[in-house]
């Protein structure tokens, strides 16, 4: 069965973004690029929204690909922002729809606060510019591009270094929901909750184990063992944590747009053979669609 052959690049990518959140390509363009990169199974996991899924599914169907319903929810654990990827859920589930609407409101308030903080530093207001650049709610990448277009900085990287990066004036910690809420929204909608890019949180090994324990304790069932820019040592370590916690393993590029070859769609190593892939545990309907690819 094809589902048993999905062991890594370039067949599967279960974490990427479009203009529905902070990506630079439309959902259709993401699907087209994924297809060109050899991806056959894709999950569009935009931040706190499912707005791009319908368009992405149409593009995937036209290209003989399987699109898995996805989202990346922002939440808090011990005061730190954590991201949880949801896979293969009912995007029309009433509780999930209400939660996503709430997340969107939080993101709008966050965007207004970012603009206010930048203005307090003597910069021009760029909220309208950032909104024009975003198909949905503007995020920090949109503010960075707006600052470039206003001539405040030469490049987006400079905007992050000076104004928007971690610890800078535009790094606004939104009022995200608790980790348990994010996981339950996904699981109650019939999906699988996956802890996104665990090494990016820069937790000690002990705290990462505590996070995984809290995550599984509220119903989380998967860990992103593969993520772009990750060392082989980290992959081996995450595979071990995956086995020890009884979690399934996922992987995705975290693609946001062209120009970053280290996080290109489908460009992932093989999943370690000792882990249990998340696609073996998706819904019967999704697994039938995967098997039909063989």
Domain for residue 31, yes or no? yes
When divided into structural domains, the chain yields a total of 1
Report which DSSP code applies to 266: T
Residue-wise DSSP of 35-104: HHTT--EEEE--BT--TTHHHHHHHHHHTT-EEEEEEEEEEEETTEEEEEEEES--TT-HHHHHHHHHHH
Per-run averaged pLDDT (10 residues), the chain, 294 residues: 47 95 94 96 96 97 97 95 97 95 90 96 95 85 94 95 93 88 98 97 96 98 95 97 98 93 90 94 94 81
Q: What is the CATH number of the domain that holds 78?
A: 3.20.20.140
Token pair listed for 78: 């011990």
3-state helix, strand, coil in the chain (%, to 5): 45, 15, 40
Cα–Cα–Cα angle for 13, 210, 15, rounded to 5 degrees: 10
Token pair listed for 270: 């093989």
Whether omega before 29 lies within 30 degrees of 0, making that bond cis, reads no
Domain for residue 287, yes or no? yes
Nearest C-alpha neighbor of 290 from the set 27, 10, 11: 11
Domain for residue 106, yes or no? no
* Residue ranges making up the domain that contains 252: 2-100+177-291
Q: What is the pLDDT of residue 187?
A: 98
**81 beta partners:** 76
Prediction pTM value? 0.88
Beta-carbon contacts of residue 173 (< 8 Å; ≥ 6 apart) = 81
Pairing of strands 41-44, 66-77: parallel
Q: What is the pLDDT of residue 5?
A: 54
Domain for residue 144, yes or no? no
Q: What is the pLDDT of residue 149?
A: 95
Domain for residue 141, yes or no? no
Domain for residue 12, yes or no? yes
Q: What is the pLDDT of residue 137?
A: 84
Nearest C-alpha neighbor of 112 from the set 96, 91, 95, 131: 131
Domain for residue 125, yes or no? no
CA distance 262 to 237: 20
Domain for residue 108, yes or no? no
Q: What is the pLDDT of residue 6?
A: 57
């Amino acid at each position: 069965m094809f589902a048993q052959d999905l062991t890594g690049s370039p067949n599967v990518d279960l974490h990427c973004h479009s203009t529905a959140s902070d990506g630079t390509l439309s959902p259709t363009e993401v699907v087209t690029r994924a297809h060109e990169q050899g991806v056959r199974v894709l999950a569009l996991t935009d931040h706190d929204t499912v707005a791009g899924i319908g368009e992405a599914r149409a593009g995937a169907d036209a290209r003989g690909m399987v699109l898995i319903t996805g989202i990346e929810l922002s939440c808090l654990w011990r005061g730190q922002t954590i991201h949880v990827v949801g896979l293969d859920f009912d995007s029309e589930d009433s509780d999930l729809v209400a939660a996503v609407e709430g997340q969107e409101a939080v993101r709008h308030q966050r965007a207004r606060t970012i603009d206010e903080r930048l203005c307090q530093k003597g910069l021009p207001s760029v909220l309208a510019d950032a909104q024009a650049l975003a198909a949905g709610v503007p995020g920090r990448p949109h503010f960075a591009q707006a600052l470039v277009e206003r001539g405040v900085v030469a490049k987006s990287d400079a905007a992050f270094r000076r104004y928007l990066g971690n610890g800078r004036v535009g790094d606004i910690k939104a009022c995200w929901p608790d980790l348990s809420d994010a996981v339950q929204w996904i699981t109650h909608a019939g999906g699988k909750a996956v802890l996104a890019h665990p090494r990016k949180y820069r937790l000690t090994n002990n705290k990462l184990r505590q996070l995984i324990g809290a995550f599984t304790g509220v119903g989380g069932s998967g860990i992103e063992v593969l993520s772009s820019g990750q060392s082989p040592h980290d992959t081996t370590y995450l595979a071990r944590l995956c086995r020890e916690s009884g979690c399934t393993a996922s992987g995705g590029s975290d693609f946001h747009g062209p120009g970053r070859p280290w996080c290109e769609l489908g460009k992932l190593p093989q999943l370690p053979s000792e882990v249990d892939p998340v696609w073996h545990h998706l819904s019967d309907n999704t697994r039938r669609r995967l098997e039909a690819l063989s």
